[in-house]
């Protein structure tokens, strides 16, 4: 499992992660919010996003982050106040683009 050594929210618009292998990657706030797999954001199969995922991705901001054990991060978003998604380090690495 890849583990981030450094996690930085960049002005709410993106997340920058420095991984244990030295790679640095970034995920935009809208990409992160769209990838939420919680029950509020996905249909029963988990395959399709529900209407709970905002229609205006340019407005999405990351407003908080909390470590979940030693394997994931929970993020808070604005303007919708969403905060129930848990993103494993592996899923963050898969979403991220190397800088």
* Domain limits for position 73: 4-98
Rounded average pLDDT per 10-residue block, the chain, 99 residues: 93 96 95 89 76 72 96 95 94 93
d(CA 11, CA 81): 17
Pairing between strand 97-98 and 61-68?
A: unpaired
Count of Cβ atoms closer than 10 Å to residue 45 Cβ: 6
Q: What are phi and psi of 34, to 5 degrees?
A: -65, -25
- Distance, first Cα to last Cα, the chain: 20
Q: What is the CATH number of the domain that holds 23?
A: 3.30.2020.30
Number of domains observed in the structure of the chain: 1
pTM here is: 0.87
Q: What are phi and psi of 54, to 5 degrees?
A: -55, 145
């Amino acid at each position: 499992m890849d583990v981030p050594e450094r996690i930085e929210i960049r002005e709410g618009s993106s997340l920058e992660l420095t991984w244990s292998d030295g790679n640095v990657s970034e995920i935009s706030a809208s990409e992160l919010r769209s990838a939420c797999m919680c029950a509020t954001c996905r249909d029963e199969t988990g395959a399709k996003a529900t209407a709970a995922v905002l229609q205006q991705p340019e407005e999405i901001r990351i407003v908080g982050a909390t470590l979940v054990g030693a394997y994931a991060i929970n993020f808070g978003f604005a303007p919708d106040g969403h905060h129930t998604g848990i993103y494993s380090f592996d899923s963050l690495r898969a979403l991220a683009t190397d800088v």
